[in-house]
Chain A
């Protein structure tokens, strides 16, 4: 049972480079999310999606783009990497959320350094 799979696990980028963080889930969840976790800080929501073809911004969307062409996949794109984007990135998924039922399933994270 794979759950939520993120690739790569680690990556080092140079300033100005671009890359895509991959996320796929095999639980047929409608909802998917991208969070980032900076050292000593809580998780911040970057983007989320409530279904294929529907995405919306979270708290910290600047510098990122997402797409949701299928239920399973929710890639996160960094177009011009900046040192401020050095962080650990978590993808998560869930069934349709209602109050008190916010059980998210997380991937194991991608550690990204921009130098």
Chain B
């Protein structure tokens, strides 16, 4: 079945540091890939997405590139801010499966200190 594996957290960084959160996936078909973010006390919200190989999703300074050869979708940001402190979820939707659901990773807690 489909699965998503994220790097173990928590991740703690200083402001302006470089961020990488690793995500790899297993899928039976040709998935679309997503990063969702959950800020404290809020629900998840879509951060960025990519629908085919070599696509780069980007939003709010975050980027992730769909790498089919390594089945990866790592999240990066060049300079994090305190306001980026949140839980980040990698997810996929498999074209070969149901269109109605996403498969989520376990989430990675990011804390950014001033």
Contact B100 A100 (CB under 8 A): no
Task: Flag if B43 contacts A102 (CB, 8 Å).
Answer: no
| Chain A, interface residues (CB within 8 Å), range | 20 to 34
A4, A90, A99, A104: the one within 8 Å of B46 (CB): A104
Q: Would B43 and A50 count as touching, CB distance under 8 A?
A: no
Known: A108-B43, A109-B43. A102 touches B93 (CB 8 A): yes
Chain A CB within 8 A of B44 CB: yes
User: Of B4, B41, B100, B101, which contacts A108 at CB under 8 A?
Assistant: B41
Q: Which of B14-22, B77-85, B102-110 contacts A (4 or more CB under 8 A)?
A: B102-110
What is B's interface to A at a CB cutoff of 8 Å? 4, 32, 34, 36, 38, 41-46, 49, 51, 89, 93, 95, 99-107
Cβ-neighbour of A107 out of B4, B43, B107 (below 8 A): B43
Contact of A99 among B38, B41, B95 (CB under 8 A): B95
Which single residue of chain B is at the shortest CB-CB distance from A6?
B43
Assuming A99-B32, A99-B93, A100-B32, is B100 touching A106 (CB within 8 A)?
Answer: no
In angstroms, Cα B42 to Cα A107, docked, is 7
Pair count A-B, CB < 8 A: 67
Q: A interface vs B, CB < 8 Å?
A: 3-4, 31, 33, 35, 37, 40-43, 45, 48, 50, 56, 58-59, 90, 92, 97-100, 102-109
CB distance from B108 to the nearest CB of A (A): 11
The one of B46, B95, B99, B101 that contacts A103, using a Cβ cutoff of 8 Å: B46
Whether the Cβ atoms of A48 and B101 lie closer than 8 Å is: yes
Chain A, Cβ-Cβ closest to B45: A106
* Assembly CA distance A45 to B2 (angstroms): 13
CB of B106 within 8 A of CB of A41, answer yes
Nearest CB on A from B34, distance (A): 7
**Contact status of A102 and B45, CB under 8 A, knowing A42-B4, A42-B107, A43-B89:** no
- Identity of the chain A residue whose Cβ is nearest the Cβ of B6 in the assembled complex: A42
